[in-house]
Amino acid sequence: MAEASPDPVPPISGASQPPVPQLPSGSGFRLAGADRRATLRRIWLDTFDWRLYRAGLTLEQVSRAGAAELRLTGRDGVLITAEPLPAGGGRALPKWPLQIAGLPAGPLAEQLAGVIGVRALLPVVRATSVLHEQRALNGDDKTVARVTADQMSVTFPAAARLPCRLAVRPVRGYQAQADRLAAQLGALPGVSTDGPAPLETALAAAGRRAGDYSGRIDVDLEAGMPAQAAMAVVLTALLDTLEANVPGTIADTDTEFLHDLRVAVRRTRSALKLGGQALPAGTRAQFAPQFKWLGDLTTLTRDLDVYLLGLPGMTAGLVGAAPADLDPFGEHLRRSRASARRNLLRGLRSARFAGLRQDWRQALTAAAERPRRKPPVQALAAASIAAAHQRVLAGGAAITADSPPERLHDLRKRCKELRYALEIFASLNAPDAQWRAVKELKGLQDCLGEYQDTEVQRAELRTFAAQMMAQQSAPAQTLLAMGEVAAGLAHRERAARAEFDSQFRQFARPSGQARIQALTEQAGQASR
Amino acid sequence: MKILATYNIKGGVGKTSTAVNLAYLAARDGYRVLLWDLDPQAAASFLFRVRPRVKGGGKALIRGTRPVDDAIKGTDFERLDLLPADFTYRNLDLMLDSAKKPARRLASLLAPLRAEYDVVILDCPPSISLLSESVLHAADLLLVPLIPTTLSVRTLDQLTEFLGGFAGHKPQVLAFFSMIDRRKRLHQQIARDLPAARPEFAATIIPALSVIERMSVERAPVAAFAPRTQAALRYRELWREARERARLADPPAVP
């Protein structure tokens, strides 16, 4: 078919009036036919952390008179899947943000599920396109391509009018002539042939760029930088991440806003502990308790999120009980979460939280503006990583078969501190050495995480059961099913505990230690 | 995918005009349509402004050394593609003769296009030949334009008898009177009486109208350049009958 087969000629962008420019005589082509017009309302969608963009995908809701669809394309603009949306005007269209369960069931939802996971799809750009289409005729007056001029106005995240964008769609069998036409159009004044994708153009016009948020510590520390300035850069980036996740947490858009907010808080606390001495005197003492308060404020809601996210897995793992037996438990978790969230929201809307953010940013700005010249950041990095590494080695070596669970939980915290130290100073290390160090640590972290999570969840399960009994909301079959879940958790807990020794041996072997020492020596040498 | 063919042993009876207009109307209804101009005179290719040339000629297509979809060209109309004529098509009989199962060859060449098109229309040259036999085996519906004369009706009878000898798949026949001259009493009489008496006849007749001749000047289907004319109306009626007779499913929604 003329629509589907030919390779699309790259779009052409540039300012031009009228929408489709006139070709010079002697070009061998002319634009003719009725100028077909259409107005499209376009919403580009992605998760807050750009999972679709990072996977090379673009999702767009396109609606025009009487019809709407969701279109998933690759980065090359080639359509992968389209899902028609119910007709009936704006009221029938999806109300974004939505998680995967809110999308129409079908191939599109299936493809997206593997990429976006538990995250919600949010509008990243809203725009209106007025399209003018004309036919391009060759010397035989045969249509060889359709030329579309797209005049797009961005309405979100900021209002902007984009330069007119031309696209040449070849008619089947006329690719070579369409290529020549595109080259001629591209050579016209004010028109270029290498326009970026519409999403990126629209974002740029609105002052954003695709992929401008990630949960990682995305800072570029320079060698020789004063440690105080470096810590201010790192902690400011963490404060930005924390603040970026507050609206989504308050709106309960998806569970990962709170998760990323908590990670930013934990990293801040670790950075204060490991590198706080580089900041002006009194900073750590003033802010460490504040961030502990903030971390504690978020814990209960996150624990319940983890439970609820794991509930389908728990249900699927039941052997004796029926899946529906856990419904009252799920209901109890949802009620508990609603209650925990009320407390969380009070905290996030409190003057204390607003004051903390304001005071912390001021303190960091001041630290960045007037840094002490010494020590350099490499010395701080070497000392922090070495100290965190030593604490992991000592804590792990002290654990025996008789050690209580708390010892392993403490070791997990030390591992997180080492992980954060590696991540905070990552830009100072050779990427390969950094990657190997993190990979080795991750195996131990996963084991300790599984052990603590299952141990805590099992203990919490008892608490939940007691609460449900007290509220007379626990039928016998639900308690039996919860018992089965507890048994499954106990089994996983024992397996993780049994795996600990080999995981720690693996981490603590001489080659791993040498790798961390090389990282710290490298940083230390650079500081001298 | 349904395969329709405009066929008559005689030339100049309106086969190409019918093929071109029905292909256009099918595409306008939302069907994905391929028109194969099998006539080396290349009238359908001319009407759609497509150069009558296929790389490697008919031999490459029949032998399968060049995939059919490589030779397809888009027309000026959405959803309507053309497989152009080539002068070497005058030897298609010889080419088919050297192919395996020549009578089934067209059907096997079109089979890979099943997912891409809803309707294929074959515009056949006037003849009785191996090519015609291959067309008759491939088609689901034969559209047979007839000039209302006794001799013309006899050729339809011969065709029906020939198809009666087919084992297995047989195309349906939809005959219709074409190029009716309203000034000729015999034309009027035959066109009035026969359709009522014979079920293979369409109720629609296509009169001889100058606007149909103008297609070669406009180089477009009459239904496209003169949609409000009597000729366009008749082709629309004929398309409706053909669509029903071929039991064509509803077209996909037009985006």
Amino acid in the structure at residue A250: I
Q: Which residue is closest to A142 within chain B, CA to CA?
A: B49
Is residue B175 over pLDDT 50?
yes
Classify residue A4: in a domain, yes or no: no
Chain A residues whose beta carbon lies within 8 Å of the beta carbon of residue B71 = 173
Residue A460 lies in a domain: yes
Q: Are residues A200 and A231 in the same domain?
A: no
Cα–Cα distance measured from residue A362 to residue B190, given in angstroms and rounded to the nearest whole number: 99
Residues of B engaging A, defined by a Cβ cutoff of 8 Å:
32, 48-51, 69, 71-76, 78-81, 116-117, 219, 253, 255
CA distance A37 to chain B (A): 15
Q: What is the pLDDT of residue B254?
A: 62
Counting other chains too, the contacts that A480-485 makes at CB distance below 8 Å and 24 or more residues apart are A480/A320, A480/A321, A480/A325, A481/A318, A481/A321, A481/A322, A481/A325, A481/A326, A481/A329, A482/A326, A482/A329, A484/A318, A484/A319, A484/A320, A484/A321, A485/A314, A485/A317, A485/A318, A485/A326, A485/A461
For residue A210, give how far its alpha carbon lies from the nearest alpha carbon of chain B (Å).
Answer: 29
Q: Are B100 and B59 in contact (CB under 8 A)?
A: no
Taking CA atoms, B186 is separated from A339, B147, B148, B181, B189, in Å, by 92, 11, 8, 9, 5
The pLDDT, as a whole number, for residue A4 is 34
Position A9 pLDDT exceeds 70 = no
pLDDT at B29: 95
Question: In whole numbers, what is the pLDDT of chain A averaged over residues?
Answer: 89
Percentage of chain A beyond pLDDT 90 is 64
- CATH number for position B64: 3.40.50.300
Q: Measured between CB atoms, which of B50, B79, B219 is closest to A1?
A: B79
Q: Is residue B251 part of a domain?
A: no
Nearest to B76 among A69, A143, A173 (CB): A143
Say if residue A361 is in the same domain as residue A329. Answer: yes
**A39: distance to nearest CA of chain B, Å?**
14
* A171–B contact, CB cutoff 8 A: yes
Reported confidence tier of residue A522, pLDDT bands at 50, 70, 90: low
| A188 and A255 in a common domain | no
- Residue A13: which of A21, A4, A25 has the closest Cα? A21
Same domain, A302 and A380: yes
Q: Which of B49, B51, B116 sits opposite A1 (nearest CB)?
A: B116
The domain tally of chain B equals 1
Percent of chain A with pLDDT over 70: 92
- Chain A residues with beta carbon closer than 8 angstroms to that of B69: 5
Range of the domain at A427: 227-527
In B, which residues are within 8 Å of A68 by CB distance? Answer: none
pLDDT in tens, A242-279: 999 999 999 999 999 999 999 999 999 999 998 888 99
Is A74 contained in some domain?
A: yes
Within 8 A of B80 by CB-CB distance, chain A residues are 2
pLDDT of residue A443: 93
A6 part of a folded domain: no
Last residue of a domain, one of A172, A205, A238: A205
**Are residues A64 and A167 both part of a single domain?**
yes
- Is pLDDT at B20 greater than 80 in this prediction? yes
State whether residue A37 sits within 8 Å of chain B by CB.
no
Q: Is residue B58 part of a domain?
A: yes
Domain membership of residue A2 (yes or no) is no
For residue B74, the chain A residues in CB contact (below 8 A) are: 1-2, 6, 143, 171-174
How many domains would you assign to chain A? 2
User: Chain A partners of B28 at a C-beta cutoff of 8 Å?
Assistant: none
Tell me, what's the pLDDT at A190?
60
- Overall average pLDDT of the B65-87 stretch: 93
Judged against a pLDDT cut of 70, whether residue A88 lies above it is answered with: no
Q: Is A142 on the interface with B (CB under 8 A)?
A: yes
CB spacing of B51 vs A140 below 8 angstroms: yes
Please state, as a whole number, how many other Cβ atoms lie within 10 Å of the Cβ of residue A431.
9
Query: Which residue of chain A comes nearest to B51, CA vs CA?
Result: A140
Domain presence at residue B250: no
The number of C-beta contacts closer than 8 angstroms across A and B is 46
Q: A1 vs B117: CB contact, 8 Å cut-off?
A: yes
B179-220, pLDDT tens digit by residue?
888 788 888 888 888 887 788 899 999 999 999 999 999 999
Q: Given this model, what pLDDT does residue B49 score?
A: 95
Q: In Å, how far is A57's CA from the nearest CA of chain B?
A: 22
Write the residue in B51, B76, B81 that is nearest to A1 by C-beta. B81
Do A86 and A199 have their domain in common? Answer: yes
What CATH number does residue A45 fall under?
2.40.320.10
pLDDT digits (tens, 9 = 90+) for B123-171: 999 888 888 888 999 999 999 999 888 788 888 888 888 888 888 888 9
- What the block records as the tokens of A481 is 């099913």
**CATH number, residue A380:** 1.40.20.10
Please provide the distance, in angstroms rounded to a whole number, between the alpha carbons at the two ends of chain A: 69
Minimal Cβ distance to A3: which of B76, B78, B117:
B78
Cβ separation of B73 and A174 shorter than 8 Å? yes
Measured between beta carbons, which residues in chain B are less than 8 angstroms from residue A3? 78-79
**Which helix (H) or strand (E) covers residue A252, if one does?**
none
Assess whether pLDDT exceeds 60 at residue A7. Answer: no
Mean pLDDT to the nearest integer, A424-442: 87
SS3 A150: strand
Task: Tell me, yes or no, whether A184 and A238 share the same domain.
Answer: no
For residue A215, being part of any structural domain is answered with no
Contact of B238 with B211, CB cutoff 8 Å: no
- CA-based nearest residue in chain B for residue A173: B73
Q: Given pLDDT bands bounded at 50, 70 and 90, which one contains residue A328? A: very high
Q: Does the beta carbon of A402 lie under 8 angstroms from any beta carbon of chain B? A: no
From chain A, pick out residues whose CB is under 8 angstroms from the CB of B72.
5, 172-173
Angle at A448 between CA A446 and CA A449, to 5 degrees: 60
B-chain residues near A174 (CB < 8 A): 73-74
Task: Give the integer Cα–Cα distance in Å for A108 and A122.
Answer: 16
- Does residue B255 sit within a domain? no
Q: Which of chain B's residues have a Cβ under 8 Å away from the Cβ of A6? A: 74
**CA neighbor of B230 nearest in space, from B245, B216, B215, B210:** B210
Question: Regarding predicted confidence, which is higher, A463 or A4?
Answer: A463
B67: domain range?
Answer: 2-245
- Pick from B48, B79, B81 the residue to mutate for testing the A interface (most A CBs within 10 Å): B81
The verdict on A165 and A239 lying in the same domain is no
Angle at CA B31, nearest 5°, toward B27 and B36? Answer: 65
- B116: chain A residues, CB-CB within 8 Å: 1
Testing the interface with A: which of B76, B117, B119 to mutate, by most A Cβ within 10 A? B76
At residue A2 the predicted structure's pLDDT band, cuts being 50, 70 and 90, is very low
